[in-house]
Amino acid sequence: MDVLLQLVVSGTATGAIYALAALGFTLLWQASGTINFAQGEFVMIPAFVMLFFINVTGTPLWLAFLLTCGVSMIVLGWGFKRGVVDPLIKHGVIPLVIATLGLSIGLKSVVKAGYSAEAHPFPSVLPAGQFDLGGLAVSYADVGTLVIAGAIVFALQVMLNKTVTGRAMQAVAQNTDAARVLGINVKRMVLYTFLINAVLAVVAALLVTPTYLAKFDMGDAIGQKAFFAAIIGGFNQTRGALLGGVLIGILENLVGHYISPAYKEGVALVLFLAVILFRPEGLLGKTEERKV
Amino acid sequence: MKNIVMTIAVAALCAPLLAAAQQGPVPIVGIVELSGAGATAGTNFDNGVKLAFKEINASGGILGRKIDYTSLDTQSNPGVAKALAQKAVDQNAYVVMGPVFSGSFIVSMAETKRAEIPNFTGGEAANITQQGNPYVFRTSFTQSTAMPKLARYIKDKVGAKTIAMIWVNNDFGKGGRDTMQKALDAQGIKVVADVSTDPGQVDFSSAVLKVKQSGADAVFVYTNEEESARALRELKKQGYDKPIIGETTLTGQKVIELAGDAANGAIAHVGLTADAPEPAIRAFDEKFTKEYKYKSDHNGMKGYSAAYVVKAVTEKVGKFDSKAFAKALHGAKLSVKDNPGILLDVTFDNNGDLDRESFLVKVVNGKQVVTETLPPVSAK
């Protein structure tokens, strides 16, 4: 029983990181109809930017994190929106999907050329070791990851539901035309979504890179699992992304331990297929009707 | 009569070209993992080879001819490695260096064998040299040489009666696991947890949990570089406090760099280490660090020493003849006294396996510390 609980705790922590990246998928989709297949690389780039600040300028990790949030908001938030999404979104989803796939390859190539294809160590913001919780050995890193990821998600939910800006963003996500008629600055709200996505990616990078190690292709698995998590939970629900991420994290751990690590990587895919077949709107998603 | 005149004329025209080709640079091709899961191992191996040929060329080349070394990226993919081996053959390579990963080498070596080109590998899988390929040569120990040494150490020095194994499920890991299992059986050590992991695996939480549950006296970790670092980090994260033992990779320089504090205390048997108390190795360490601004791991030393083996044997043969080279290297004994670049006295057997001194190391404060020097197997 202890082992099962330990697996659930560490799986939830891993899943919370998937959820952060998955949240970005759902936010961008709701606000602007963007599917960003470079989401994994949006986690990888901040990891290397933080490394740059730490190794080259000698900045401490916390300051490197804050500086990277700024860089990420400018480059992966504003820059991505203005440079890739705005020119392409008017042509439909497919050109944008293809463009983000290309962007994913391009970003990997740039990092590989600049930083080499080797993995690089990344400092952990959380301490190593474990503590006893009612007879259960729980690691500080797992609890820390859960607390940080949970706090970010909670803050995001509060912002979206309790603030004027958050409600305006939701209004844009639900009906852009109606939001515009109500006087909401739609362009600005969409920009905020991109900026939030960029910050979520930096937090995910901070939490996941000590384990994944900073490497040009580290975003492949994260991006893929975040996409699956978003679909499983419901692409039009931020809470769905959270559920999808945690579900994948826990099931991966259980399958890896009780069946075989060889099947672990397939868990997300099997869940994804099951959801697509039996509940295409996702576990918490709502059916959407669109004019064709 | 007309044909004879034409033939003589063509021969006369081609003679200078042929002569130039015989005096020009000698092509040697590296098929190495410069990206993908094997990037750390491949890059180090490649850098070692490059450094050695740079030195060799600077001192006049081999038999007066420069070496034209080019490296090709297998992307850690056996299929790509096989295609690149064919490319190396097409480029008339005198010798082929790599791949480092056993899985890639087992696939690619058929191409170099067909072309009768000597092929050095950094791979340690036992079955590489058990297939009767006369053109295969190792740059490191085979697992069948290394594992018995390590099993003996676990019994005599660590005093473990039970052990848990974490190994990577590829040719390298599976071969190592099977060989280690036999070696442990021979020493009467019981394997109480046999944990397979995937190449490129990121999360080792359930693997470490299984090890802890088993209650083994020690854990043996046999995975590739990045996975070794992740396993060490997870062992530390879960507060594992029993001996962590491995073979070569576990205490490699890159693993120590990636694992950070988590690498401290890890013990391994290594064929080559830049921290070995040998003058030739100390000199290599200085040159490598100066050239690449980082410390070489065992793969860098494998590549470097292999390049100097090429020089030593070619000079012994007296000409650039791939077949004669392979023949001469079987059973060859090379000494550091005559060839400092080979780093340690080495002998090659008829299968292409090598024998030389090896070391037991422990990671202390992020550095490999040699705790024991073990003699060559043939010396016993």
What CATH number is associated with residue B125?
Answer: 3.40.50.2300
Closest Cα partner for B244 from B258, B262, B257? B262
- Span B339-349, pLDDT tens digits: 999 999 999 99
Span B160-171, mean pLDDT? Answer: 94
Picking from A137, A215, A261, the nearest residue to B201 by CB comes out as: A261
**Is residue B380 predicted with pLDDT exceeding 70?**
no
* DSSP label of B168: E
Distance, CA of B305 to chain centre: 10
- Span A132-160, pLDDT tens digits: 887 777 888 889 999 998 899 889 889 98
Span B127-140, mean pLDDT? Answer: 93
- Please tell me the distance in Å from A33's CA to the nearest CA on chain B: 32
**Is residue B176 predicted with pLDDT exceeding 60?**
yes
**Is residue B6 predicted with pLDDT exceeding 80?**
no
Residue B179 lies in a domain: yes
Number of other CB atoms surrounding residue A110 within 10 Å = 14
Span B76-89, mean pLDDT? Answer: 95
Position B264 scores a pLDDT of: 95
CA pair distance A23, B54, nearest whole angstrom: 51
pTM, 2 dp: 0.80
Helix (H) or strand (E) holding B164: strand B162-168
With cut-offs at 50, 70 and 90, classify the pLDDT of residue B160.
Answer: very high
CB A44 within 8 A of CB A224: no
**Is residue B332 predicted with pLDDT exceeding 80?**
yes
Residues B311 and B256 in one domain: no
- Span A179-224, pLDDT tens digits: 889 899 988 998 999 999 999 999 999 999 998 899 999 999 899 9
Residues B77 and B120 in one domain: yes
Judge: B40–A6 Cβ closer than 8 Å, yes or no: no
Residue B314 lies in a domain: yes
With cut-offs at 50, 70 and 90, classify the pLDDT of residue A288.
Answer: low
User: Which residues in chain A have Cβ-Cβ distances shorter than 8 Å to B225?
Assistant: 119
Residues B306 and B176 in one domain: no
Q: Which residue of A has its CA nearest to B235?
A: A129
Does residue A256 belong to the interface with chain B, where contact is any CB pair within 8 Å? yes
Position A134 scores a pLDDT of: 77
- In SS3 terms, B59-113 reads as CCCECCECEEEEEEECCCCHHHHHHHHHHHHHCCCCCEECCCCHHHHHHHHHHHH
Tokens of B334: 């090379």
Picking from B198, B213, B233, the nearest residue to A3 by CB comes out as: B213
User: Chain B 94-153, CB below 8 Å of chain A: which residues?
Assistant: none
Residues B163 and B263 in one domain: yes
With cut-offs at 50, 70 and 90, classify the pLDDT of residue B290.
Answer: very high
Position B289 scores a pLDDT of: 96
Residues B81 and B160 in one domain: no
Span B279-296, mean pLDDT? Answer: 94
Judge: A213–B258 Cβ closer than 8 Å, yes or no: yes
Position A2 scores a pLDDT of: 76
Position B267 scores a pLDDT of: 95
Position A131 scores a pLDDT of: 85
Residues B51 and B152 in one domain: no
Residue B17 lies in a domain: no
Residue B6 lies in a domain: no
- Span B86-107, pLDDT tens digits: 999 999 999 999 999 989 999 9
Listed ranges A109-118, A246-255, B232-241, B308-317; the one with the highest mean pLDDT: B308-317
Position A25 scores a pLDDT of: 87
Residues B171 and B192 in one domain: yes
- Please tell me the distance in Å from B36's CA to the nearest CA on chain A: 7
Closest Cα partner for A239 from A178, A182, A154, A177? A154
DSSP string, A77-110: IIIHIIIIIHHHHTT-HHHHHHHHHHHHHHHHHH
User: Chain B 23-52, CB below 8 Å of chain A: which residues?
Assistant: 34-36, 39-40, 43
Closest Cα partner for B201 from B244, B247, B233? B233
Residues B170 and B256 in one domain: yes
Does residue A79 belong to the interface with chain B, where contact is any CB pair within 8 Å? no
How many domains does chain B fold into?
2
Judge: B43–A118 Cβ closer than 8 Å, yes or no: yes
Closest Cα partner for B257 from B289, B220, B295, B283? B295
Span B286-307, mean pLDDT? Answer: 94
Residue B283 lies in a domain: yes
Greater model confidence, A66 or A114:
A66
Please provide the size of chain A in residues: 292
Position A5 scores a pLDDT of: 87
CA distances for B325 relative to A23, B128, B332, B351, angstroms: 60, 19, 11, 14
User: Which residues in chain B have Cβ-Cβ distances shorter than 8 Å to A6?
Assistant: 209
**Is residue B85 predicted with pLDDT exceeding 70?**
yes
Helices (H) and strands (E) in chain A, counts: 14, 2
With cut-offs at 50, 70 and 90, classify the pLDDT of residue B121.
Answer: very high
- Span B256-283, pLDDT tens digits: 999 999 999 999 999 899 989 899 999 9
Residue type, B41: A
User: Chain A 219-238, CB below 8 Å of chain B: which residues?
Assistant: 221
DSSP 3-state assignment of A273?
Answer: helix
DSSP 3-state assignment of B160?
Answer: coil
**Is residue A286 predicted with pLDDT exceeding 80?**
no
Judge: B261–A137 Cβ closer than 8 Å, yes or no: no
Residue B167 lies in a domain: yes
Position A164 scores a pLDDT of: 92
Residues B34 and B136 in one domain: yes
Residues B307 and B342 in one domain: yes
Residues B205 and B285 in one domain: no
CB-neighbour burial class of residue B324 (10 A; exposed 0-12, middle 13-18, buried 19+): middle
User: Chain A 128-187, CB below 8 Å of chain B: which residues?
Assistant: 128-130, 137, 139, 141
CA pair distance B337, A100, nearest whole angstrom: 58
Closest Cα partner for B82 from B106, B118, B46, B49? B106
CB A41 within 8 A of CB A202: no
Position A3 scores a pLDDT of: 81
Residues B284 and B305 in one domain: yes
Domain limits for position B208: 144-270+359-379
CB B90 within 8 A of CB B113: no
Q: Domain spans of chain A? A: 2-124+138-219
Please state the φ and ψ torsions of residue B92, each to the nearest 5 degrees.
60, 40
**Interface with B, mutate which of A18, A108, A118 (most B CBs under 10 A):** A118
Residue B197 lies in a domain: yes
Sign of the CA dihedral with A166 first, then A171, A177, and A180 last? negative
Span B187-196, mean pLDDT? Answer: 94
Listed ranges B12-16, B146-150, B192-196; the one with the highest mean pLDDT: B192-196
- Please tell me the distance in Å from A212's CA to the nearest CA on chain B: 6
**Is residue B286 predicted with pLDDT exceeding 90?**
yes
**Is residue B12 predicted with pLDDT exceeding 60?**
no
ipTM above 0.85, yes or no: no
With cut-offs at 50, 70 and 90, classify the pLDDT of residue B13.
Answer: low
**Is residue B14 predicted with pLDDT exceeding 90?**
no
Position B331 scores a pLDDT of: 94
